[in-house]
Amino acid sequence: MAVKDFSDPYTFAARSFDWRLHCGEEAIENRLKEEVIRLGAKRAFAICSPSIKSKTRSMERIKDTLGPLWAGEFTGIEIDSTYKSVVAATEAARAAGADLLISVGAGSVVVAVRVVDIFLCEQGDHFEIMTQYPEGKPAFSPRLNAPKLPIINVVTTPTGAMNRAGSGLANPDLDQRMEYFDPKTRPASLIWDHEAIMSTPLNVIRSTATTLFSGAIMGAAETKMNPLVEADRTHILRLAKRSYLKMIEEDSIGPRVDLFTAALLGNRAQDDATQGIQERGGRTFAGNYALSTAMHIRYANVWQGEANTSLAATMVRRSPVPDEEPARRIAEELEVYKPGMTPRDMQMAIADGLEAFYTRVGMPVRVRDLGIPREDFPTLAKETIKVFNANAGMRDPEKQYQDALEVLEQAY
């Protein structure tokens, strides 16, 4: 068999998954029960965070809508999907005899419910079936073969987690996240209910939307995209640019749904890329996923979006000088391009432009803005070594550690 040329954007594969989406006013009342029935469930169990339970009507609406199909609820999922709260949710779902799981909330709850599904259905030890990092070898995720319960996600922020298969739990007793991967935990249905979406505080939705907006801007310069990915990325950028600031200025349902759509398209773009190679290989500037993840998991007051923006400009400045064409595309999208700029000029203007934009919308632009003490830097740097999406065990641990330390110092 000939070796595939993954650098050729016209040599690619794509995947599709069976799911349904319902968006609208009273989508919970109008669509949730029919989805539970379609999936053959008799005992639907809902899971959320304390804030969703105490500050919104979502759980009561779901219970009233499902009637006899309602099996119960767990309302204690903690920020960053802690192992402790996921184990408690698993025990509650098992005691209720759940045959379908409903997540209600943002990324932490969505991720938590996927792992609840794994813990309910897999027989293996929780620590043996998670992603493993054998010393001196690539990381690997054990295959999870047991059938899973169907999942319905009632999503409240434009999180990229809404339609994915990977999950990570925070566990302060370990030197890594507890990571799991199982395609069977992708949702069977997505519910975008207008009231549930609008009940999310603006500062919460802004954090997630900022990560999405930044990714859309940087994605404008991706190279080697196949035509499907290019279509997704083009529309993601259009939606993000027209809706991000509008969401902050008028806080209405339209811009929020635009951003939810952009997040879902981002998931599809990953599925449409050949093994993700176009996504990883075509970035103009280095990312900061491992470090921002370590930051928001360690500190309850630091969310993913804020962690990203505190590092973003520094990562741009640290990157190799870009090629002219992709740098110009990003500079033009940020409206910082001027005729006669060299690639290095554009690189610095992009970094400055990002800082100015994030400051304008009230997001932090330096690590010190997050209140993270410098004496914690070595611990944070160490925690970047075992993050599968950023470093699947292929980088030298000492180099990973030193690079993270340098980024933190320069971003401080």
CA–CA gap between residue 299 and residue 302 (Å, rounded): 5
Would the pLDDT of 223 be above 80?
no
CA–CA gap between residue 388 and residue 403 (Å, rounded): 17
Across residues 157-177, what is the average pLDDT?
92
Contacts of 200 (CB under 8 A, 6+ apart): 106, 156, 157
CA–CA gap between residue 109 and residue 52 (Å, rounded): 10
Contacts of 267 (CB under 8 A, 6+ apart): 160, 162, 163, 164
Residue 257, φ and ψ in degrees, nearest 5: -65, -35
CA–CA gap between residue 404 and residue 290 (Å, rounded): 9
Residue 377, φ and ψ in degrees, nearest 5: -55, -45
Across residues 180-186, what is the average pLDDT?
96
| Boundaries of every domain in the chain | 20-198, 201-283, 285-412
**For residue 275, how far is the Cα from the chain centroid?**
18
Residue 5: pLDDT band with limits 50, 70, 90: low
Residue 2: what pLDDT? 47
Would the pLDDT of 1 be above 50?
no
Across residues 4-19, what is the average pLDDT?
78
Would the pLDDT of 207 be above 70?
yes
The CATH architecture assigned to 285-412 reads Up-down Bundle (1.20)
Residue type, 51: S
Residue 12: what pLDDT? 82
Would the pLDDT of 398 be above 60?
yes
The pLDDT > 90 percentage for the chain reads 75
353-386 residue pLDDT tens: 999 999 999 999 999 999 999 999 999 999 888 7
Q: Count CB atoms within 10 A of the CB of residue 390.
A: 18
pTM of the model: 0.89
Asked if 158 and 138 count as a contact pair (C-beta separation under 8 A), the reply is no
Residue 324: what pLDDT? 93
255-309 residue pLDDT tens: 999 999 999 999 988 888 754 443 444 567 877 888 998 898 889 889 989 999 9
Across residues 160-172, what is the average pLDDT?
93
3-class state of residue 99 by DSSP: coil
Domain 20-198 matching CATH 3.40.50.1970: the answer reads: yes
Nearest to 259 by CA among 342, 396, 155, 103: 155
CA–CA gap between residue 258 and residue 247 (Å, rounded): 9
**Position with higher pLDDT, 388 vs 134:** 134
Tokens describing residue 105: 């909330």
Query: Please, what is the average pLDDT of the chain?
Result: 91
Residue 392: what pLDDT? 54
Residue 281: what pLDDT? 46
Across residues 400-409, what is the average pLDDT?
93
One fold for 20-198 and 285-412: no
